[in-house]
């Protein structure tokens, strides 16, 4: 049975990447604990608007844990204290009555703040555009069984493809590294025969674009793996390193 909780909400306010930001504080009272975190923020905005104040800006879209838009840093954790879940899958029952809740944006030089907790993540789109695709001309779609793929490889490729590109790995990493994201996108193609013809070009292009955009280096602290809402494995990073080294040897 649901119960109501009250808590102190500290939420980040910032008008743009070149402006100074600050926390606003508000007492939230009698919020049902079966309310999702984003629904709680909707309640906050309804209260702010009714008082003639500017609403709090945050990203959201599907609210089903699929799109990765709900990029909030909550009490020191990307997407909040839940494991294997996005912010929209986080419910207020994970918090205690009377608790302080701190809400911040992803903090990375590569993800400049647009407004409040909405950040610009087009850097990820640029990395994908650099090589996260196949350009093989195959004509009409082949029969699904035309290219035989071992099930372990297909399963691992599917696991890598489950990355939703939310940027949680960057926010969790002390270096602001995007290696888990890039390696997942490289792995989902490197594990399949359709992705092999362009494997070397892909690895080099995506790593170079990642570095160009200002993401940090990976130092294997595994914070990205621990916080990832889709439980992506750092084994993908090892695969990316192998792909990159092999590509350089080919050069």
**Tokens 């195959």 — which residue?**
138
CA distance 129 to 182: 12
Domain assignment present for 53: yes
Q: Are residues 129 and 211 in the same domain?
A: yes
pLDDT (tens place) for every residue of the chain, 251 residues total: 779 999 999 999 999 999 999 999 999 999 999 999 999 999 999 999 999 999 999 999 999 999 999 999 999 999 999 889 999 999 999 999 999 999 999 999 999 999 999 999 999 999 999 999 988 676 777 777 788 899 999 999 999 999 999 999 999 999 999 999 999 999 999 999 989 989 999 999 999 999 999 999 999 999 999 999 999 999 999 999 999 999 988 87
Domain assignment present for 114: no
β-pair partners for 190: none
Domain assignment present for 66: yes
Residue 180 φ then ψ, to 5°: -70, -40
Q: Are residues 70 and 150 in the same domain?
A: no
β-pair partners for 104: 73
Domain assignment present for 165: yes
Long-range contacts of 135-143 (CB under 8 A, 24+ apart): 135/198, 136/194, 136/197, 136/198
Q: Are residues 145 and 87 in the same domain?
A: no
Q: Are residues 54 and 165 in the same domain?
A: no
Q: Are 113 and 107 in contact (CB under 8 A)?
A: no
Quote the distance between the C-alpha of residue 206 and its chain's center: 17
Q: Are 163 and 181 in contact (CB under 8 A)?
A: yes
Q: Are residues 95 and 127 in the same domain?
A: no
Please state the domain count of the chain.
2
Q: Are strands 4-13 and 100-104 parallel, antiparallel or unpaired?
A: parallel
- What CATH number should be reported for the domain holding residue 190? 1.10.1060.10
Domain assignment present for 68: yes
Rounded to two decimals, the pTM is 0.93
Domain containing 24 equals 4-104
Domain assignment present for 115: no
Q: Are residues 199 and 243 in the same domain?
A: yes
Domain assignment present for 109: no
- What CATH number should be reported for the domain holding residue 23? 3.10.20.30
Q: Which of 104, 137, 163 is the last residue of a domain?
A: 104
């Amino acid at each position: 049975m649901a119960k109501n909780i009250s808590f102190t909400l500290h939420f980040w306010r910032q008008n743009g990447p070149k402006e100074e930001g600050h926390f606003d504080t508000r007492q939230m009272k009698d919020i049902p604990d079966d309310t999702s975190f984003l629904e709680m923020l909707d309640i906050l905005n309804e209260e702010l608007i009714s008082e003639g104040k500017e609403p709090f800006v945050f990203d959201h879209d599907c609210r089903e844990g699929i799109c990765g838009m709900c990029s909030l840093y909550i009490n020191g954790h990307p997407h909040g204290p839940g494991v294997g879940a996005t912010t929209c899958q986080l419910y207020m029952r994970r918090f205690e009555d009377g608790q302080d809740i701190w809400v911040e944006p992803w903090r990375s030089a590569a993800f400049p703040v647009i407004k409040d907790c909405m950040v610009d993540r087009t850097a990820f789109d640029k990395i994908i555009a650099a090589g996260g695709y196949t350009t093989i001309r195959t004509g009409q779609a082949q029969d699904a069984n035309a290219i035989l793929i071992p099930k372990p490889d297909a399963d691992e490729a599917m696991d890598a493809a489950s990355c939703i590109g939310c940027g949680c790995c960057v926010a969790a990493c002390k270096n602001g590294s995007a290696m888990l994201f890039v390696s997942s996108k490289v792995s989902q193609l490197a594990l399949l025969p359709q992705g092999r013809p362009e494997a070397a070009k892909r690895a080099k292009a995506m790593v170079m674009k990642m570095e160009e955009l200002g993401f940090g280096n990976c130092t294997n602290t595994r914070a990205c793996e621990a916080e990832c809402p889709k439980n992506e494995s750092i084994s993908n990073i090892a695969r990316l390193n192998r792909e990159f080294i092999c590509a350089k040897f080919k050069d």
